[in-house]
Amino acid sequence: MAIPDFQSIMLPLLKFCADGKEHTNREALDALAQEFGLTEEEQKELLPTGQQCVIDNRVAWARAHMKMADILENTRRGVFRITERGQDILKENPQEINLRFLRKFPEYEAARDKHKENRRQQESSSGPEEQETKTPAEQLEYAYQTLRENLASEIIAQLKSASPVFFEKVVVEVLVKMGYGGSRKDAGQAIGRSGDEGIDGIIKEDRLGLDIIYIQAKKWEDPISRPEIQKFAGALQGKRARKGIFITTSRFCDTAKEFAANIDNKIILIDGQQLAQFMIDFGVGVATDAVYELKRLDSDYFTDN
């Protein structure tokens, strides 16, 4: 039979996970290939780029959407399992699970609402006329943004489940890649004090060490409120420091942002989303999957002089 689309994969994938155990991507792919009766040639069929199998790509998309709806969860890289909500869904014996089905869950809607333009690109339930309103270049741009946003969500989930020591390593790596701290060795020595669920320390603003930046990093689930920023500002004053960076895996309350914006000390707030974007931009914890080059006509070349 033909390779199923990613929405058709959702329910069989969830049923495969019904045992509640952890499963790898490879186990899921093998089980689904057997479930859909895919031939060896179909299992090896590649995307136009030639860098990933079609079935691998569609299973990954099915898993990503169900993770957004809190039906599946990643336990570690390349390993996932069904959640309590997923088990409840299976008890209801649904005929199918698709994007329309997932939209009844607030977590899924919240994630999609962040990217309304991308949502219109992703939902197969939308009519073809909607797709035709965008140029191929626009569709490619929206697809790129969608992939980037999904990657950022995966990065944040990994950071939240990582140890404080590993989180320290990530923060050091990102800051060094951004040009702070001189060498990675210098930055590590500067930051190396472990704090409560995070790190606290100092780092050079430039390679010459002309100025020092104080850092506080919190691997938290709950939003960072104003009192936490006030404590950090007080610590800066105690050190007679002018600059600080507060990094968290969660987010900052509006009151925290307002306080940081209205004090004399310069405090930069970096939430989980921003940290994930920096990791993508500076190549920390990510690997290149494919590279595309968009060519345009060189009019000068065709000019007859």
Decide if pLDDT at 274 tops 50: yes
pLDDT digits (tens, 9 = 90+) for 20-57: 999 999 999 999 999 999 999 999 998 776 778 899 98
Q: Domains of the chain, with CATH numbers?
A: 6-160 (no CATH), 164-281 (3.40.1340.10)
pLDDT digits (tens, 9 = 90+) for 89-124: 999 999 999 999 999 999 888 887 765 555 455 544
- Bridge-based pairing of strands 198-204 and 243-248 is unpaired
